[in-house]
Structure 1
Amino acid sequence: MRLATGGRRIVAAVVAVGVAAATAIIAYRVLAPAEVVTTARAAYPTLPTPEAGVVGRLPVTPLIVDGRLRVYAAQRQVYADQPADERHRRTPYWSYRRWPATLDAVVASGTTVVSRWSDGRLVALDARTGQVAWRADGPEPDQERSGRRTGTTTVWQPRGFSLGRSGDGRDVLVSSGAGQVAAVDLAGGTPLWRAEVDAGCREPVGPSTSGQLLTVDDCAGPPTVEFRDLATGEVTGRWRPPDAGADLTATLFGCTSDGAGCAALRTAGPGDATARSWLLGTGDPVLVPALAATGTELVGRMAVTLADGELVGRAVPDGVERWRVAVGLGRLVAVQTGRVHLLTEENELVTVDPSTGGQLSRFVLNVGSDGTGWTPGLAYAADGYVVVERLRRPVDPDGDEQRYYFTSEPLIIAAT
């Protein structure tokens, strides 16, 4: 009887150990860091040539990549569908998932899509196949990504994560956070440089078309714009707008759609009646009055302003008026190479050639039976497409998702 009892105890102990081991294996498989790469099974789509007009509507915010794909962001996933002019979101063409990190930001250039994660990891994907092109480590984001379910802040407003082009022609990816800023070569993920910076008082603004990273430094003394060479990380200069106050807000604009950086800088302080706009180059920024009007956009070397229903193009930097065209009351919503997009008060999308003022297309931004009784939110333009966020009237920034968005598919996409 004692042997039998002892035997049962041994068997029970063995079973308990086995159960514990199995549980540990299952827990490890479920909770251990992992990535899942689902590559494309179909051929890379041909470049579509849609007629000007509304393409469709989407529930989440896309990036247009290579004119062929739409890339989206989820909490722990980057995925793409195709073609770019598909009316609705489709089954993913490819997908990349990570666990337990969460997705912080996504940028794209050419056929390379790069995601940044909450642990600072950078993962580049070949948009043509969905295969991982390279992986690299960067600074961890200094704050948790916030935003609504559409992912707009992740793909259209990536904080601390940007693309630029160095003076020697290399495409450079810059990430910042946790008291560091670092750059890698977009082509292969090779680290270029990493610098320690004072957290909380050095805010990267972004890269310029002249191959420099701009940062607002207010760690000691009045806020100053710092210039850092994209290729080397070396600080090449510091600049402060004349007569600037104790606070300084700096915003880049005139940004290229191919990720080469931005050509102009808008600065303002809390007491300034209007912002001042500066053209960026290799020396100190140059004040350009033609860029000063509220809402002015810079496309190439043309400053475009909408005022009193007229769209006006002025050469930069001399400010000479080159063209003027009546388009109706509204506002500029997006620009891209060779195109300026504005929405009228009736939600007509008007697209104009910035070099001549010639109208390229004009149509009502409506799909199905949705109507036009909405307010435009953020907008994005690339590869001849425009995507506009539609918000419910009156706009309630604190409302829940149903109250805030116009429909369950609030993103409307159009070809121009």
Structure 2
Amino acid sequence: MFVMILNWKVGENDPFSAFNEALASYLEASGKRSQTVELSDPGWWNRLLNAKLDGIDFVFTWQGLATNFKIGEKEQSFWEVLQVPLISMHGDHPCHMPVNHAFDSPYCAHLYAYPEYSLYAQRHFRKRSRTISVENPVFCLDERLDVKGGDHFVLPKNVTPPSVMEEEWKRQLSPEAFRFHMALAETLKAMLPTEDHLDFHAVIDELIELHPSEEYDFRTQADAYHHLHSRLDFYVRNVKAVSILDHLKDVPLQIIGRGWEPYARVASPHHEFRRAGNMADNQRQYYSAYGIIDVTPSVTGLHDRTYRAMRNQTPFLSSGYLPEFLPDMAPYDPLFYRFNGDDLREKCEAVMANPAAHAELAREFSYLHQMRIQPSHLMWQLDSLARSMDRS
């Protein structure tokens, strides 16, 4: 019996190869054999059909990749034909690629890294598939490097400038729809500096209920509803990311990622801009003296860049929010920033005043997190879930 892991090596910065290498290692440590199937290879599905003869415990995929794959003249779901458990782990919001969340079958379970993502999926997609959020361990096998970076923070983030997004909306949408999007975008942007841990998807739903669009009926037009949430989700993420440049104008900062060219042309002399490489090749960026600044896409939980910093035992500042992780999170508040007021700037100044103390606090929290949320527990959850699914 094998666990078949689906990989997609042509994704931007190739994150899945690194994640799947860690997953295979964790499965082996739990007594599970695995094989990796590359989705960009022609005829990848034949490997699964052949492997079924030897026995498949379950198939694992990320972000819903290949869940909507169909075969034959009748366009049957491949997974309904294969009839083995398929588990999809999602780290991004369901509004962005609804088709990757929509497969609904007793043979499939959709797991989410954040509870608010799971709740959205249950409201809009689920009838037969299992859907739940899980606490992920650190999906990373980095060995700690014996290097020391410069005295600066690192912001690893791809962006699309909000002004570019607004121009795209203006070209793509009708005048009324554009005004509607902009009204919601401006409302959300105005709330960011004043609200802690803003669940802007809930705010969007409240706003469209109070101020209905003249062009769309979001209660019946699912595609329009998801597109609205997707556009505004990306917009808020990018507003958050670029706002860091203003918050930290005179703070030494290295920005690594795509899309920053308009900001690099008018940048502070304290800021340096670099392109990102593949995930497997950029470990050294975690070793600056002050650590990374991570922008978490969700309301709750942590992002994979923070997890990787924890694996490397290097400093970090995260916008993540862990309300129930420990009975008292106050001692670790210096590791987590908010977008309201001068919170990020003040925390950066504290780091620069005593980087050794901040690094030690990050290591202490990393140890606690990795002791509490261990890979073996998730492997047990995956195996138990697969055994409970319909194999008839």
* Band of TM-score, shorter chain: under 0.3
Q: Highest relative contact order (Cα 8 Å, sep 6+), 1 or 2?
A: 2
TM-score when scaled to structure 1? 0.25
Question: Which of these two proteins has the greater Rg computed from alpha carbons?
Answer: 1
- Decide which structure has greater helix share: 2
TM-score, normalised via structure 2 length? 0.26
The structure carrying a bigger strand percent of its residues is: 1
